[in-house]
Structure 1
Amino acid sequence: MTRFVVPAAASIVVGLLLGAAAIFGVTLMVQQDTKPPLTAGDPASSVLNRVEYGDRS
């Protein structure tokens, strides 16, 4: 009887660990799927947040 119980218990433990790791990994990937915040540029010195050097005339 122990010939089947030990491998079955080990399989259950490994399955639970792999499932927990998969859930944890998916949760981390979903949380990191956001855009970083943009810092606003100075409207007087930039167009589309790209600094323009030199004379504009």
Structure 2
Amino acid sequence: MNRFVAPAAASIVVGLLLGAAAIFGVTLMVEQNTKPPLPGGDPASSVLNRVEYGTRS
């Protein structure tokens, strides 16, 4: 009985570790945590660095 339990337990542990490593690796590859580049506003047309869209009347 012991000849089957030890290899089965080792196989389960190795399978779980490989699965967790694969999930973690795929998550790191597809992760998008960078901000897109934003175009700068015209400093002459902004108040306190807030760009004003349209005209005030």
Matched, 1:45 2:47: no
- For 2:18, the equivalent position in structure 1 comes to 19
Listed as ranges, the gaps of 5+ residues in structure 2 are 50-57
TM superposition score normalised by structure 2: 0.62
State how far apart, in whole Å, the 2-side matches of 1:36 and 1:7 are: 49
What is the deviation of 1:24? 0.6
State how far apart, in whole Å, the 2-side matches of 1:6 and 1:24 are: 27
What is the deviation of 1:34? 6.0
State how far apart, in whole Å, the 2-side matches of 1:26 and 1:33 are: 14
Q: CA RMSD in A?
A: 2.1
State how far apart, in whole Å, the 1-side matches of 2:35 and 2:29 are: 14
State how far apart, in whole Å, the 2-side matches of 1:33 and 1:41 are: 22
Aligned length: 45
> Deviation per CA, 1:22-55, whole angstroms, max 9, x where unpaired?
001111111126632122111x328xxxx7xxxx
Listed as ranges, the gaps of 5+ residues in structure 1 are 52-57
